[in-house]
Amino acid sequence: MSSDASTRAYAITRVYRDHQDSLDDELVIEEPMELRIDFELAGHRAQRSLAITMRTPGDDPHLARGFLLTEGIISKEADLLDLQRCSDGGDEASPNIWRATLAPGCNFDPGRLQRHFYSTSSCGVCGKASLDALHHQGVMPVTAGPVINADLLFELPDRLRAAQATFDRTGGLHACALFSPGGQLLDLAEDVGRHNALDKLLGRALRQGLLPLSEHILLLSGRASFELIQKSLVAGIPIVAAVGAPSSLALDLSQTYAQTLVGFLRDQRLNLYTHPQRLRCPDERQR
């Protein structure tokens, strides 16, 4: 059985009704990552611990970039002067501690942060002060985006699933993916935390200079939470489709920011919740 930095094989016993087998089972690794920030304050350099998240190792630099982007700390790659592992007081750098150094002149005000960043693999970044957070980041409603046939969306979950190599071995990862208006899979990311997977995906897009993602479709392998919709809006994504259900707050956010939100995308059906103008749907007789 093959494994990589994101998985680990364990010897287990599988018990059936009439017998048992000994075999290896591959599980997704979940480890904490601390993100520290080095920034300019009153003409001097200052440092602080910004976030701790439980994540699947393997794409930490893009996870850090995506987190900084979607939390409004940076808006472009040039805002990030350096990103590297750092130590926890010892001589060697820790694989689970990263320091982001902001460029001089980067507009970061630590007093603006109304909460401590603490995120977990189950709930994402918790404790949003209010929906006004996006307004403070300067996020604007989605004003454009592609118009696609609704039945194209029916094909996307299978295309995502076929590309999830690690999920095939473990069954324990969330995934998100970017598609073109024609349904081409452009990029995907997996992680034990759904918010981490999206940060990895958007961190890569930031580094590649692709933002805003105004001609893309985002597919989520699970539910659509407020946190994921917030992150997608920072990246300017006009269409978000989820295999699972949206939360009420996610729906309100998509409605407010003119984003098309689709849920329960499975079994050749979908629920269209907000801004239907981007989907060409069958007429009532064909539904």
What is the CA angle 168-213-29, rounded to 5?
30
Q: Please report the pLDDT score of residue 26 as a whole number.
A: 78
Q: Please report the pLDDT score of residue 240 as a whole number.
A: 97
Q: Report the catalytic residues.
A: 123
Residue 42 has pLDDT above 70, yes or no: yes
Q: Please report the pLDDT score of residue 168 as a whole number.
A: 59
Residue 38 has pLDDT above 90, yes or no: yes
Distance CA 186, CA 217 (A): 10
- In tens, the pLDDT along 123-180 reads 444 434 445 666 667 788 998 899 999 889 999 999 998 888 666 565 667 899 999 9
Give the residue ranges of the annotated binding site: 264-269
| Residue 13: band (very low, low, confident or very high) from pLDDT cuts 50, 70, 90 | confident
Radius of gyration of the chain (CA): 20
Give the number of other CB atoms < 10 A from CB of residue 279. 20
Cβ neighbours for 269, distance < 8 A, ≥ 6 positions apart: 154
- In tens, the pLDDT along 164-223 reads 866 656 566 789 999 999 999 999 999 988 899 999 999 999 999 999 999 999 999 988
Least confident of 27-36, 118-127, 172-181: 118-127
Closest to 167 (Cα-Cα) out of 198, 147, 192: 192
Domains observed in the chain: 31-133 (3.10.20.10), 148-280 (3.40.140.10)
Distances (CA, A) of 196 to 59, 96, 167, 241: 10, 14, 15, 17
Rounded average pLDDT over 103-111: 80
Residue 115 has pLDDT above 70, yes or no: no
